[in-house]
Amino acid sequence: MKNSKLLFASLIVSGIILMAMGFTNADEWIVPAKYKTMENPYASSSDDYGSELYETHCTSCHGDEGYGDGKKAETLETSMRELGSEEVQSQTDGELYYKSVIGRDEMSNFEKKISSVEDRWLLINYLRTLAE
């Protein structure tokens, strides 16, 4: 009797652990390999048009400095990392391109709004200037 209660309790506990793990994994944003290794053809460009694009399209949520404190941020359910943080900056240009342009859920898709490929890379160059 005692043993079956124990078994039952441990089943519940492991269920909770598995569920928690499931949630964490769902949170992980996996970028397709093709994007991950994509070269930034404008990496050495000195054109700072990216800052204007950031101002126009990104500050509403990410805030001026990328802290995630834009006006719209409070209305979002998904939390944002600081764009200048190590976690974000350690990603490849291709990863940031994918997340910035393709997006997912509350992170908007910008394929139409920023249709020029050059502009998209200039925007990624700008994100690099936010590094802390």
Q: Decide if residue 120 touches ligand HEC (CB under 6 A).
A: no
Query: HSE of 29 in the Cβ direction (CA atoms, 13 Å)?
Result: 20
Min dist. Cβ of residue 101 to ligand HEC (A): 8
Query: Which of these segments, 1-9, 17-25, 33-41, 80-88, binds ligand HEC (CB under 6 A)?
Result: 80-88
Which segments of 2-102 does DSSP mark as H helices, in order? 2-27, 33-36, 49-57, 59-62, 86-89, 93-97
Site for ligand HEC in 38-67 (CB under 6 A): 57-58, 60-62
CA-CA-CA-CA torsion sign (98, 103, 104, 106)? positive
Binding site for ligand HEC (CB under 6 A): 29, 57-58, 60-62, 72, 76, 78, 80-81, 88, 96, 99-100, 104-108, 110, 123
